[in-house]
Structure 1
Amino acid sequence: MRAVVAELQRIEGLCGRERHAPKWAPRSMDLDILLFGDMVCDEPGLVLPRPDLLRRAYMLGPMADVGGDVVHPLERRTMSELWERFDRDGHPLTRIELSLGAQ
């Protein structure tokens, strides 16, 4: 797993990410591992599943869209179930349709 984290950080660097910037500074690229199967890990630099997944609409909403049947290894509920219970009024999420094909 450390090799995966190192590769993601390498890609962030290629995109101009500065690793020594302040914690909440703007970033050119931010790649995070939210889940990795049923893995539960709490080590410096790697916490899985990522705790923010249950607090951030921009993480949980899309996760429910693409992996609604995936079970959160600690909550033992699917992403769809967690999204249904999520406070969407307090954390609004706006879907934006992108046209990524050739024009």
Structure 2
Amino acid sequence: MRTFLSIGSNDNPQQNIALAIELVKKSFVDVVVSSVYQSPSITQRGADYYNLVVSFSTNLAAESVVSQLKAIERALGRSQDKLHSSKVPIDLDLLLYGDFNGLLFKGLANQSRVPHPDLLSHSFILGPLVEICAELKELSTGESYNSLWRKFDKTAHPLIKLQ
């Protein structure tokens, strides 16, 4: 099952993102990594974020994938009691899980619904996603993510490509 996730950090982002990618590569196969982009925090609290999108193949159930992502977050210092902190060491969000569309399981709202509710509304998700799967079709409209990105208002969340 081809799966996509977003990775973000605004607390020691170079190191935390490198470690997160390393742990994703140890946990999953056929990993593809987008470039890293810098963008302002959408909450206007804290330092700028570094963001990217990663895809991989897995035979795991969605709940197991999310559990693995949460374990990576915990390993890198993310705790549930600091979810709304201005410093985020790492944030891993499941974006797409194959061609599934809907609620995967009962759990954290954003983590259990795919496509992720923010996928089409944030440049720091859609931009890196297009880089690694431009012609993939958005499930509800059938339009390519590349086409959606071309129409996207990039001024709301400006991106700086870092690597």
Range of TM-score over shorter length: 0.7 to 0.9
In the alignment, does 2:83 pair up with 1:27? no
Q: Distance in 1 between matches of 2:126 and 2:120?
A: 6
Is the contact between residue 39 and residue 48 of structure 1 (CA under 8 Å) also seen in structure 2?
Answer: yes
In the alignment, does 2:115 pair up with 1:49? yes
Encode CA deviations 1:32-87: one digit per residue, 9 max, x unaligned.
11111210122442110001111110100011111001111123211101100100
Query: 1:63 — aligned with what?
Result: 129
Q: Which amino acid aligns with 2:132?
A: V
Q: How high is the TM-score relative to the length of structure 1? A: 0.84
Query: 1:82 — aligned with what?
Result: 148
Q: Which amino acid aligns with 1:33?
A: L
* Superposed displacement of residue 19, structure 1: 1.3
Flag the structure with larger Rg.
Answer: 1
Is the contact between residue 15 and residue 28 of structure 1 (CA under 8 Å) also seen in structure 2?
Answer: yes
Note the residue ranges of structure 2 that are not aligned, 5 or more in a row.
1-61
Write out the 4+ residue segments of structure 1 that deviate beyond 3 Å after TM superposition. none
Query: 2:77 — aligned with what?
Result: 16
Is the contact between residue 17 and residue 27 of structure 1 (CA under 8 Å) also seen in structure 2?
Answer: yes
Name the structure where strand makes up a greater proportion of residues: 2
Of residues 46-55 and 69-78 in structure 1, the stretch that sits farther from structure 2 once superposed is 69-78
Q: Which amino acid aligns with 1:85?
A: K
Is the contact between residue 69 and residue 80 of structure 1 (CA under 8 Å) also seen in structure 2?
Answer: yes
In the alignment, does 2:38 pair up with 1:38? no
Is the contact between residue 17 and residue 29 of structure 1 (CA under 8 Å) also seen in structure 2?
Answer: yes
* Superposed displacement of residue 24, structure 1: 2.5
